[in-house]
Structure 1
């Protein structure tokens, strides 16, 4: 596939994935009360953490591979098979335990455990298609995923429980998963499934999962913690605000996950870093523009989007918009570091993720929910500054052949 066509298909695919994500949350907000949306948001936040961890362990090492030879085809099949087995092994006990607990949140988590293989498996195949340089197949799968999710949620009535919405949303991924499995089977004829390398010490996904755990997952679980000890509506308010920035959120995640195969087409390292910096500027400007559009949105239109959750989410738009602009720079900075030396990002993630949690908690203590939102912005700003400072130092140092890291494995972290 030509480079321009691949880029267009990848961008379109990320747009469809973003639209699916935001419409699911918009539908849930419109179909539930404020308290039920907070419960749904808590469950969806857990899913987001699991999705990120799955992508970090299997997807991100996969897309760092180059070429579409036998080794890459085998790695793609293995990554998808591993994701399905691991999600089933995790989802079954989650469903069994939460089914015994009372409350709407527990019921939603039980349903999430049952549908986890479907939703994580479908996402894993997207990484495989990106690695095989077949983004048009990922686009086809995600279009079916979008149609299935919207059709299923549109059939629900107001007052549906979080558990019912999670079940409907998860099962709607099955057609897209089946189609993706057939397409992947045809794209990787004869490729063997090897699960053992993915469990070996030194697999690069282990490092990326640790980075995710101390990075994105730490901040998201901190929101859950503040919602538990403070006000549960904190989760709904923050989730409602970030829902409005859903397309940007998915684009940022996709930049890290699917950017390497596209930027890898640029032969010169200096040009790759410059292209990544330009991408950061474009995404930051897009975040600022989108925040401005949302701030000017009439109250009636906002309520059509988020229902009863709109007033709380609208109050957080300035802080959330600023956070997403800072996240654009930080995400692209991490992408540049991944291409220069994947081992350099772990320390940054640890230090500045803990910093973000401190800002989040401190902001909540000082200014309540708006203060927590501004705390998230400060954490993202600090991480962005640190990542690009590190990129500049690596560029001045120049390439070191001893620092080359395989996509399959890296030296164990000390």
Structure 2
């Protein structure tokens, strides 16, 4: 497959996956009472966290793999097998814990436990297809899943309990799982199956899980904390502004999660770094153009999108747009580091996640909600600068003949 076609398929696949998540919540909201939708949303949040953890532990190390066909194919088989086994064990534990508990929420969590291997297994196969440079197969599976989930949810009656919605949502991924399993088996049959290697001490997934936890938890909790001790409007304003940039999050996820196999087609590290820098510029310009388009929206359109939150969110567009431009540069910098030496990203993620919290808090203290938004922007700028400074140092080592450790060289961590 040509590189341009592979890029289009990877981005389209992320778009379909994101659209599925959005439409699931929309459909559940239309089918549920307020109380049941709150339960469904809470369970779906648990799933989203688990999805991120499994993606960090199995998916992100997997897409960094390069080597012979049997080696890469065996890594894909092992990652899928590990996910199915770990998700089954975790699902069984969730069912066992919630079984004696009364109430609708424990029943919904039990339903999640039952379908966990299906939804997480299908997601890991997306990473496997990307690693094998077959993103069109991942796209086909996700399109099938989108069609199935919308079909089964459309058949549910209004007032369906959260446990029922979780069950049908999870089982709707079964056709995509089976199709992906057949397609994957045809390409990796006979390759080594060693799921235990994902439990070894040097496995990169451990670092990536910490990065995921720090990067997601600190920002979320800091905004909630400001809302609790300061002005509750800060939560809605910041969340409203970032919601408008949802399409850019899809592009960022595509870059970090599925970019390494595409960049791996290039012949040398220098060309990969240059391609990543070009991607950073393109994404930053895209963020700026998107922010400009949002700023030019008529007030009526903005209110239709965000309701009464629009005026405060619109006032934050310059800061949030600048933040996303900086995030584009920083995200691509992290992608370059993943290609050069994936062990170098953890320290940057930890340090600058907490730095962003400090900038957010100081910005709010000095300038209220706009100050908080500019504080987040400053944190992203600092992270981007530090990331590319690290890329430059590692690139100089490569030129000097002291090549940094690549993911493919970390055999014990794959």
CA contact (8 A) 1:29 1:306 kept: no
Alignment partner of 1:403 is 2:384: no
Q: Which residue of 2 aligns with 1:53?
A: 53
Unaligned runs of 5+ in 2: none
Question: Structure 1 residues 217 and 227, CA, compared in 2 at 3 Å: closer, same or farther?
Answer: same
Q: Deviations over 1:137-162 (max 9, x none)?
A: 11101111222333345556777776
Question: Structure 1 residues 387 and 154, CA, compared in 2 at 3 Å: closer, same or farther?
Answer: farther
Question: Structure 1 residues 357 and 37, CA, compared in 2 at 3 Å: closer, same or farther?
Answer: farther
- TM-score normalised over the length of structure 1: 0.82
CA contact (8 A) 1:78 1:195 kept: yes
CA contact (8 A) 2:141 2:176 kept: yes
Alignment partner of 1:329 is 2:329: yes
Q: Which residue of 2 aligns with 1:356?
A: 356
Shift of 1:382: 2.0
Q: Deviations over 1:280-304 (max 9, x none)?
A: 1111221222233334445655566
Structure 1 window deviating more from structure 2 (302-311 vs 14-23): it is: 302-311
Q: Which residue of 1 aligns with 2:63?
A: 63
CA contact (8 A) 2:398 2:404 kept: no
Question: Structure 1 residues 279 and 195, CA, compared in 2 at 3 Å: closer, same or farther?
Answer: same
Structure 1 window deviating more from structure 2 (67-76 vs 353-362): it is: 353-362
Structure 1 window deviating more from structure 2 (283-292 vs 213-222): it is: 213-222
Shift of 1:109: 5.2
Q: Could you say what the CA RMSD is over the residues aligned between the two structures, in angstroms?
A: 3.9
Q: Which residue of 2 aligns with 1:170?
A: 170
CA contact (8 A) 1:35 1:233 kept: no
Q: Deviations over 1:108-158 (max 9, x none)?
A: 655544433222221100110011111111110111122233334555677
Alignment partner of 1:146 is 2:146: yes
Q: Deviations over 1:234-276 (max 9, x none)?
A: 7676555444433321221221121111111111322221211
CA contact (8 A) 1:20 1:146 kept: yes
Q: Which residue of 2 aligns with 1:195?
A: 195
Shift of 1:352: 0.6
Q: Which residue of 2 aligns with 1:20?
A: 20
- Distance of 1:364 and 1:108 partners within structure 2: 38
Question: Structure 1 residues 8 and 226, CA, compared in 2 at 3 Å: closer, same or farther?
Answer: same
Max Rg structure: 2
SS of structure 1 residue aligned to 2:128: helix
CA contact (8 A) 1:38 1:233 kept: no
Q: Deviations over 1:305-352 (max 9, x none)?
A: 567876776665554433322211111000111112222212111111
CA contact (8 A) 1:22 1:243 kept: no
Q: Which residue of 2 aligns with 1:79?
A: 79
- Distance of 2:234 and 2:31 partners within structure 1: 19
Alignment partner of 1:208 is 2:218: no
Q: Deviations over 1:160-200 (max 9, x none)?
A: 77666555543332222222112112222223421111111
Equivalenced residues, count: 412
Alignment partner of 1:270 is 2:270: yes
5 Å-filtered alignment, 1:205-354, equals: 205-220=205-220, 222-223=222-223, 241-298=241-298, 301=301, 317-354=317-354
- Distance of 2:370 and 2:31 partners within structure 1: 25
Unaligned runs of 5+ in 1: none
CA contact (8 A) 1:68 1:132 kept: no
CA contact (8 A) 1:56 1:209 kept: yes
